[in-house]
Amino acid sequence: MRPKPEAPPNAGAVRPTPGELAEPQTTIRVSRDVDFPLSLLPQSLRRGPFREDAFTSVLHEPRTTVVVGRWLGAALVVCFMTGLLSHVLQQPPTWLRDHLPSRPVNGYRVTQGLHVISGIAAIPLLGAKLWAVYPRLFGHKLLGDSHDPRLRKSKLFEWPPVRSVLHALERLGIAVLVSTMLLELFIGLLNILEWYPWPFPFRQTHFWLAWVATGGLLVHVAAKGPMIAQHWRRGSVPGLRQRRAFLGAVTVAAVAVTATTAGQTVPWLRRLTLFAPRRPDLGELGLPVTRTAAQANTTVTPPDWRLRIDGPRPYELTMDQLLALPQSESRLPIACVEGWSASAHWSGVRLRDLLARAGAPPTARVRVTSLEANGPYRVMEMPAAFAQDPLTLLALRVNGRVLTADHGYPARIIAPNRPGVLQTKWVARLEVI
């Protein structure tokens, strides 16, 4: 039950000096969810964004926010789940390590592609959502927010800005949600082009903030539950020409940014690629690279390079001996954490044949060490399911040519359904563990 304010409606016309209260507050019985008419806001604060007519658009209203919020929520959930999966695949916990499947071949390519696609699509959606609810920042009630039809047309303010502990927590929750969302999308967008102008590490920060943002989203949905339910259906409020136009434009914006970037992983969108930091067909031997030989300091292979395989029966192979072994072919994608992916024809020696010759049991994991001196992925561990997959190769050639230094010469790992950083290049040693 909302108390009816007893203040005369034209009280604001008498202009009190700034700092003076426009109305005697004593006429109002303050209960927890009182909504004050604007005229009761202290006159000194009724300026700028606190003016009654500060926001003129009719689209600062619940149905618009619910429709955009649904799309944004869906994008965020996809982004969070795929990101979590990528994190698990890159650093699997011990209990999960031996249960990760090496199929489908394109699994990681699809999920990580979706991660970046949903993140980029979320940029216009987040912009639209935050614009629609922006008047709330200054305490404006969104039009139609009220359940009371008599109040629906009048603009109401929440005053004071914090009315209870729960209300304070809700507002703090909104700040947490908005700030983490903005920063997540920002650093994610820059990470795909390897640009790091901030002082903290990308991967860890992106990971932890994702939990905070998703938690904030859940709290937000809980706080707004009744309002969301009330405006969920199309017929819940009268149709609005401006709303249709706005939602149409936001849809076009989301489609436009997706179509012009997703070609970095979706083959049939390749020709539309305008803004992606990579295109799958551009690079040495028709394949992009993430880490160059110059960056890894592996441009020159030591002349005495030999592949060393450690296990129950350790042995070494020269390049000539490797090339003399039965060569296999695999068509496998490189799928990078930055969201690009490209299929290529690889040929080389099946990893499981090399391991079997060292006396490795089929359940053994393998540790792969690169020639590079440092780098977070210099040493990589591969679970048995991937090591035993017939498609997994110690590749020596790609797309019909000998590997270049940037692609991992003299030898690299290529396995199905694995993040690109685990497709170790410049391999020096395999170790059965």
Q: Please, which residues bridge with residue 368 across strands?
A: 380, 430
Q: Which two tokens stand for residue 305?
A: 């390079």
Site for other proteins in 367-406 (CB under 8 A): 406
CB of 408 to other proteins, least distance (A): 14
CB of 180 to other proteins, least distance (A): 7
Count interface residues toward other proteins (CB under 8 A): 85
Site for other proteins in 119-178 (CB under 8 A): 120, 123-124, 127-128, 130-131, 134, 137, 175-176, 178
Q: Is 180 in the site for other proteins (CB under 8 A)?
A: yes
**CB contact at 8 A, 164 and 170:** no
CB of 357 to other proteins, least distance (A): 35
Q: Which two tokens stand for residue 71?
A: 């799309």
Q: Please, which residues bridge with residue 427 across strands?
A: 370
Site for other proteins in 53-112 (CB under 8 A): 55-57
State which of residues 73, 144, 216, 416 lies at the interface with other proteins (CB under 8 A).
Answer: 216
Site for other proteins in 283-302 (CB under 8 A): 283-284, 287-290, 292, 294-295
Nearest to 384 by CA among 417, 362, 354, 351: 362
Q: Please, which residues bridge with residue 347 across strands?
A: 329, 397
Q: What share of the chain is helix, strand, coil (3-state, %, to 5)?
A: 45, 15, 40
Site for other proteins in 245-274 (CB under 8 A): 245-246, 248-250, 252-254, 256-257, 260-261, 273-274
State which of residues 6, 20, 148, 194 lies at the interface with other proteins (CB under 8 A).
Answer: 194
Pairing of strands 427-432, 307-310: parallel
Half-sphere exposure of 410 (CA within 13 A, CB side): 21
Nearest to 3 by CA among 28, 24, 37: 28
Token pair 């020596």: residue = 396
Tell me how far apart the alpha carbons of residues 175 and 352 are, in angstroms, rounded to a whole number.
Answer: 52
CB of 350 to other proteins, least distance (A): 28
State which of residues 116, 210, 355, 366 lies at the interface with other proteins (CB under 8 A).
Answer: 210
State which of residues 58, 100, 182, 319 lies at the interface with other proteins (CB under 8 A).
Answer: 182
CB of 113 to other proteins, least distance (A): 16
CB of 195 to other proteins, least distance (A): 6
Site for other proteins in 23-62 (CB under 8 A): 49, 55-57
Q: Which helix (H) or strand (E) covers residue 343, if one does?
A: strand 341-350
